[in-house]
Amino acid sequence: AIRMTQSPSSFSASTGDRVTITCRASQGISSYLAWYQQKPGKAPKLLIYAASTLQSGVPSRFSGSGSGTDFTFTISSLQPEDIATYYCQQYHNLPLTFGGGTKVEIK
Amino acid sequence: EVQLVESGGGLVQPGGSLRLSCVASGFTFSSHAMTWVRQAPGKGLEWVSGINDSGGTTYYADSVKGRFTISRDNSKKKLYLQMNTLRAEDTAEYYCAKSYGSGSLYYFDYWGQGTLVTVSS
């Protein structure tokens, strides 16, 4: 199975900060990567697919980049409503696998 | 509006069985693969099982293979997960999710609210 490693696992930032999360795949997955946001007590929500394509209705402050094994997720200006855990997911191979998650908190 | 509503969760003893259901609306159910993803309390997301649009092909995580069976009824717009020989480590919130495409290798563009399965004596 392809292992997805996210870093950091958690961190705190201030409103307005630029936030970057990385996701590394244990083998090449081309651009078959999605990012999800999960708020406490809620279901995950798709933000980005194909590594960099923003899902319809998702604010433009969210972005993604990368291909192969190394990927980046960025929030250009952190807002209070962005407090959540973020997960990457590869869909290059079965079994589909997720990263361990990155919990983002407000400082 | 796409909606996915799960049901069937609850408390079950180790070794017991449970059947989860997910009813879909707001999209052409028979054109999309569907999947179950679970999340143990305080843990991350784990893909459990998927089924293609027609129901003819199914996929399972090694952790549930041989114990869980995914199925669908396109006429009723329903997805199912039959869970047998349940273990304590199967305790989790189970989410039904819609795949973007018709086959197995996709991301999930809509999720249900989840149903909690607790395996305990």
- Chain B residues with a Cβ under 8 Å from any Cβ in chain A: 35, 37, 44-47, 50, 59, 61-62, 95, 100, 104-114
Instruction: Please report residues of A whose CB lies closer than 8 A to that of B34.
Output: none
pLDDT category, B103, cuts 50, 70, 90? confident
pLDDT the model gives residue B105: 81
SS (H, E, C) A45-61: EEEEECCCEECCCCCCC
Strand pairing class (A10-13; A102-106):
parallel
Dihedral angle of Cα A27, A31, A33, A37, to the nearest 10 degrees? 140
Contact B107, A46 (CB under 8 A): yes
Distance from the Cα of A95 to chain B's closest Cα (Å) equals 6
CA B89 to CA B117: how far, in whole Å? 10
Q: Calculate what percentage of chain B has a pLDDT beyond 70.
A: 100
Distance from the Cα of A18 to chain B's closest Cα (Å) equals 24
CA A99 to CA A35: how far, in whole Å? 10
Q: What is the mean pLDDT of residues B7-23?
A: 98
Nearest residue in chain B measured CA to CA from A94 = B105
pLDDT the model gives residue B71: 98
pLDDT the model gives residue B45: 98
Instruction: Take residue A97 and report the two structure tokens written for it.
Output: 């696998």
Instruction: Take residue B39 and report the two structure tokens written for it.
Output: 């999340």
Contacts of B104 (CB under 8 A, 6+ apart): A94, A96, B33, B50, B52, B57, B59
Q: What is the mean pLDDT of residues B96-105?
A: 88
pLDDT the model gives residue B101: 84
The b/e string for B39-56 (b: 16+ C-beta within 10 A; e otherwise) is: beeeebbbbbbbbbbebe
pLDDT of A35 higher than 90: yes
Q: What sign for the dihedral angle of Cα A103, B110, A31, B37?
A: positive
pLDDT of B9 higher than 80: yes
pLDDT of B104 higher than 80: no
pLDDT category, B102, cuts 50, 70, 90? confident
Nearest-CA neighbor of B6 among B86, B15, B18? B18
Nearest-CA neighbor of A24 among A40, A8, A3? A3
Place of tokens 């305080």: B42
Q: What is the mean pLDDT of residues A1-26?
A: 97
Q: What is the mean pLDDT of residues A34-56?
A: 97
pLDDT of B19 higher than 80: yes
pLDDT category, A80, cuts 50, 70, 90? very high
pLDDT category, B23, cuts 50, 70, 90? very high
Q: What is the mean pLDDT of residues A46-69?
A: 97
Instruction: Please report residues of A whose CB lies closer than 8 A to that of B105.
Output: 32, 91-94, 96
pLDDT category, B26, cuts 50, 70, 90? very high
